[in-house]
Amino acid sequence: MAGADTTLERARPWSAPRHMTEPAVIRWLLIGVVLVFLGLVLILPLITVFVQAFAKGWEVYTRSITEPDALAAIRLTLLTAAIAVPLNTCFGIAAAWLITKYQFRGKQLLITLIDLPFAVSPVISGLIFVLLFGASGLLGPWLQEHGIRILFALPGIVLATIFVTFPFVARELIPIMQDQGNQEEEAAATMGAGGWKIFWKITLPNIKWGLLYGIILCNARAMGEFGAVSVVSGHIRGMTNTLPLHVEILYNEYQFTASFAAASLLVFLALVTLAVKHLMEWKHRQSLADAYTYKGEGQDADRS
């Protein structure tokens, strides 16, 4: 019975220690403050977006999101994310592997550089690409001579999106791989396993939930990025406008219903992202609970 109780305690969700408990009045006051804040700052604006989007009926809403410029913006947004997210995923895995598995000079500098897009304004990052690839920029004349177009085209939009989103996957994987250590990989290497086999059979299964979580966040930011893309895109309607830029243009032209209709697609994307994120976290908690339960049953069997 003692062993069974231990197993249940391990699988039981976390509960607050006694010294952290507060009177019921304090708890309900904090809950009320949080709910009011979320209602005013988050829930009410989201409801407003959908109310305004459907203010003139379903027919107007459908026409707003299926007109040529809107469809072009949706296609460009999806294409940009389809290019940027896999590249950032590969970079994130490689960077996390390098930082957690090897010791080398400049490791802290590399970690700082990975965090740099979190500190730099997206508009500034867009201006960096203008200074590099613009007509009077560092590489602009050479690009013009060879007929290569970066700014006001898909390559510039993809580069700007990659810049602002590449930390997400790496930053999710680094702490996970640091906590796991190198013991399993080293044991597999001593048994003759190659690098790719170690990665696919040991490392990837151990980091899969963190990797999926990082990909989800990276994808959501890539589709919703505005500042950096706005600088490098040129706002060419039907060609270089992503969905966030399309929303801004419609709003500035006082086409409020069409603007909110396009914005509702981004809100829907955010809600789907949150749902998938919650599902990933739930599955991760379930896998941890199952692992603790299995481990506890094994220890009980050993004791008996």
pLDDT tens, the chain, 304 aa long: 444 444 444 444 445 555 556 678 888 999 999 999 999 988 898 899 999 999 898 999 999 999 999 999 999 999 999 999 999 999 999 999 899 888 888 888 999 999 999 888 899 989 999 999 988 888 988 998 888 899 999 999 999 999 999 999 999 999 988 888 778 777 887 887 777 888 888 888 888 888 988 998 899 899 989 999 999 998 888 899 999 999 999 999 999 999 999 999 988 888 888 788 778 778 767 776 766 675 555 555 555 5
Residue whose entry in the numeric block shows the structure tokens 């419609």: 250
Q: CA 192 to CA 7: how far, in whole Å? A: 36
8 A C-beta contact, residue 80 and residue 161: yes
pTM of the predicted structure, to 2 decimals: 0.79
Compute CA 253 distance to the chain's CA centroid, rounded to the nearest angstrom: 31
| Encoded tokens for 105 | 């000079």
- Nearest C-alpha neighbor of 155 from the set 229, 246, 251, 257: 229
Quote the pLDDT of residue 303: 59
8 A C-beta contact, residue 177 and residue 155: no
> Which residues touch 259 (CB under 8 Å, ≥6 apart)?
247, 250, 251
Quote the pLDDT of residue 15: 52
Residue 146's φ and ψ, nearest 5 degrees, are -100, 5
- Nearest C-alpha neighbor of 179 from the set 297, 258, 100: 100
Quote the pLDDT of residue 291: 65
